[in-house]
Amino acid sequence: MPAFLIKSVVFLLCLSPAVWLAWQAFNDQLGANPVEVLTHQSGLWTLRFLLLTLAITPLRTLSGWRYPGRLRRMFGLYTFFYALLHFLIYLALDRALFFDDIWQDIAERPYIMIGFTTFLMLLPLAITSNNRSMKRLGKRWKQLHRLVYLCGLGGVLHYLWLVKADLLNPAIYLTIFLLLMLLRIKPITTWLTFRRPSLFSH
Amino acid sequence: MLIKKPHDIKPSEITDESHYLNRRALLQSAGLMAGGLLLPSLFNPQTAEASVALDSYPNLKASAFSTDEKITTYDNATSYCNFYEFGTGKSDPSQYASKVKPKGWEVTVAGACDKPGQYTLEDILKPHALEERIYRLRCVEAWSMVVPWVGFPLVDLLKRFQPHSRAKYVRFETLYDPNLMPGQKRNVLDWPYVEGLRIDEATHPLALVVIGMYGKQLPMQNGAPLRLVLPWKYGFKSIKSIVKIEFVEKPPRTSWNLSAPREYGFYANVNPAVSHPRWSQSRERRLGSWGKQKTLPFNGYAEQVAHLYKGMDLKKQF
């Protein structure tokens, strides 16, 4: 399959949760509290894409499979896309643009503060995701983009902190995040690849 | 006990109200039928396949306490529930509870009263005339609904057990049965669910024992067969599926207060001025709506209940 075709299919797949949510919203299919569903779903998709982006490197080191690396930028930008959606839904629908509530939220509620900070950290990553910025920033590009690990931690903590009593779901996301971080540590990956030779070796 | 009539309701409003009610009920049931016909089970399987037939209550007495605000749809009020006994998701209760019909329900009455004992549901309900009360219900999570409840004043029930004067508080307990209520298999809260009221709160005429909604029996997910509705307090105070009532001298430890004392107080009166660590309480969203509206002190029932808390610092005793 030609590369652009694969990319187009992946692009549309990544977009489909947003399209599905919008379709449901316009057709009154989101239940009793549509704003809550939109807020939660856009947040969850942000986390999923963030974890997907973070999964590319371990996947490559463990399997030797290089192709997904070409999709990483798209996944990263989709993370930002869903984060932006989440942020806008929070501002315009959840808080209905009542800025007194919003300021109070950011100042007094740790989970909102963390969420907001994480969004601000994603911003420079999205802006410098193009080839020109990569060239211009050189070595510093890589340093800057290490921020994504903090974004992952921030996103997961944001979720963990907002839940009332049942921590099961955020704990699953936290576990996956920690696992993906562990799979970046040299001794661990060497040990794993030594025990199970690469499936996609070339 | 002397019960004063609230002074904000004029007699003229009462007549209007009952006419309004009848019209509402008609519209409501027509809407329900149309909704049932038009909406296939594709998106709401849990409500579409509600397998338990619910009895209806004709000839309900109208109440002067009813609001004339727009009533939340039956579907929204019965599919979006916080009832952690059936799971922590909003649709878990309607999904797991709709097929459960409680049988042989009994309520234990205990503590400082003359008539403690084991009462069947029939014993509990028998002497009381049922009325319909349309109340606002405000959840601590900043959403709200308007529901026509079916029930009778809690004070009428409590009086029958002849509480002693040293009974300063009433403690209520929800059923603990992990086989019936799968959410109790996980220790999300310290089961069984416990709630409590000061005796003057419990005997306030607004406090309602509820056995039905929208003119029908309560669905299990809304707290069948017997629950409280305390419209001036956050929803979690309105305990569901009650199996025990106890008259006690000291404030009982309540479930959410035990789980997070900084977030959920014993009183839990609706108060837009006291912000919750998770949600600003200044505004709320009505179920089924996209916009927000201002939250009122005591959920709009200040005139009736504010005197109960005179002299208290409501920022500290939240």
Report pLDDT for A150.
97
Contacts of B310 (CB under 8 A, 6+ apart): none
Closest chain A CA to residue B78: A32
Q: Which of A39-53, A64-78, B14-28 has the lowest mean pLDDT?
A: B14-28
Q: How far apart are CA A159 and CA A115, in angstroms?
A: 8
Q: Is the model's pLDDT at B63 over the cut of 80?
A: yes
Higher pLDDT, B33 or B281: B281
**Chain-chain contact of B43 with A34 (C-beta, under 8 angstroms):** no
Q: Which residue has the higher pLDDT, A154 or B277?
A: A154
Contact (CB<8Å) A96/B283: yes
A/B interface, count of CB pairs below 8 Å: 60
Average pLDDT over residues B80-109: 91
The pLDDT tens digits for A140-157 are 999 999 999 999 999 999
Which pLDDT belongs to residue A193? 81
Nearest-angstrom CA–CA distance, B262 and B24: 41
Q: Is the pLDDT of residue B23 over 80?
A: no
Beta pairing class for B283-286 and B143-153: parallel
Can you give the pLDDT at residue B41? 35
CA A44 to chain centre: 9
pLDDT of residue A192: 85
Residue of higher predicted confidence among A64 and B216: B216
Determine, for residues A96 and B186 on separate chains, whether the beta-carbon distance falls below 8 Å: no
The Cα B268–Cα A101 span in angstroms is 21
CB-CB contact of A173 with A51 (8 Å): yes
Q: How far apart are CA A42 and CA A89, in angstroms?
A: 8
User: Using H for helix, E for strand and C for coil, what is the string for A110-126?
Assistant: HHHHHHHHHHHHHHHHH
Of chain B, the percentage scoring pLDDT greater than 90 comes to: 76
**ipTM (interface pTM):** 0.82
On whether residue B98 sits in a domain, the answer given is yes
Asked whether B244 and B172 are in contact (CB, 8 A), the reply is: yes
Look at residue B9 and tell me whether its pLDDT is greater than 60.
Answer: no
Which pLDDT does position A101 carry in this prediction? 86
A164 Cβ under 8 Å from any chain B Cβ: yes
Q: Is the pLDDT of residue A171 over 60?
A: yes
What does pLDDT average to over chain B? 87
* Three-state DSSP state, A129: coil
pLDDT, residue B39, reads: 38
In sign, the C-alpha dihedral spanning B32, B34, B35, B40 is positive
Tell me if chain B has a CB within 8 Å of the CB of A165: yes
The confidence score (pLDDT) of residue B5 equals: 47
Using one digit for the tens of pLDDT, what is the confidence trace for A54-85?
999 999 998 888 899 999 999 999 999 999 99
Does residue B170 lie within any of the structural domains? yes
Among B169, B158, B238, B160, smallest CA distance to B199 is for B169
Answer whether A28 touches B (CB < 8 Å): no
* Residue of B90, B190, B256 to mutate, testing the A interface (most A Cβ within 10 Å of its Cβ): B90
Residue-range definition of the domain harbouring residue B164: 11-307
B6 within domain boundaries: no
What's the Cα-to-Cα distance from B17 to each of B63, B163, B212, rounded to whole Å? Answer: 8, 35, 20
Residue B317 lies in a domain: no
The answer to whether the Cβ–Cβ distance between A33 and B280 falls below 8 Å is no
Domains of chain B: total: 1
Band the pLDDT of B50: cuts 50, 70, 90: very low
B41–A contact, CB cutoff 8 A: no
Instruction: Please report which confidence band the pLDDT of residue A191 belongs to, taking 50, 70 and 90 as the band edges.
Output: confident
User: How do residues A113-137 score in pLDDT, each as one tens digit?
Assistant: 999 999 999 999 999 999 999 999 9
The pLDDT of residue B236 is above 90:
yes
| pLDDT(B18) > 70 | no
Cβ B90–A165 below 8 Å, yes or no? Answer: no
Q: Residue type at A53?
A: T
**pLDDT cut 70: percent of chain A above it:** 96
The confidence score (pLDDT) of residue A197 equals: 57
User: B70, B31 in Cβ contact below 8 A?
Assistant: no
Q: Which residues of A touch B84 (CB under 8 A)?
A: 165-166
pLDDT score, position B174: 97
CB of B185 within 8 Å of a chain A CB? The answer is no
What's the CA gap between A68 and A60, in Å, rounded? Answer: 8
Among A101-115, B243-257, B287-301, where is mean pLDDT lowest?
A101-115
Answer whether B267's CB lies under 8 Å from B275's CB. no
Q: Tell me which chain A residues have a C-beta less than 8 angstroms from the C-beta of B277.
A: 108-109
pLDDT of residue B38: 40
The percent of residues above 90 in pLDDT, for chain A, comes to 76
Has residue B291 been placed in a domain?
yes
Is B80 within 8 Å of chain A by CB?
Answer: yes
Contacts of B285 in chain A (CB under 8 A): 33, 35
Residue type, B75: D
From the list A31, A93, A165, the residue facing B188 with the nearest CB is: A165
- Taking the C-alpha atoms of residue A44 and residue B94, their distance in angstroms, rounded to an integer, is 23
Higher pLDDT, B190 or B21: B190
Q: Give the DSSP per-residue string, A43-110.
A: HHHHHHHHHHHHHHHHHHHHH---GGGGGHHHHHHHHHHHHHHHHHHIIIIISTT-HHHHHHHHHH-H
Contact assignment for A96 to B278 by CB distance below 8 Å: no
The residue extents of the domains of chain A are 3-195
Nearest CA in chain B to A24: B43
Helix (H, G, I), strand (E, B) or coil at A23: helix
User: Nearest chain A Cα to B282, which residue?
Assistant: A101
Q: Which of residues 236-275 of B touch A (CB under 8 A)?
A: 259-260, 275
Sign of CA dihedral B272, B222, A170, A127: negative
Whole-number pLDDT of residue A87: 97
pLDDT in tens, B113-138: 999 999 999 999 999 999 999 999 99
Q: Read off the CATH number of the domain in which B117 is found.
A: 3.90.420.10
Q: What is the pLDDT of residue A200?
A: 52
CA distance B75 to chain A (A): 8
Domain presence at residue B312: no
Query: HSE (CB half, 13 Å, CA atoms) of A51?
Result: 18
- Tokens at residue B168, please? 């300063």
Residue B47 has pLDDT above 50, yes or no: no
CB contact under 8 A, B278 and A31: no
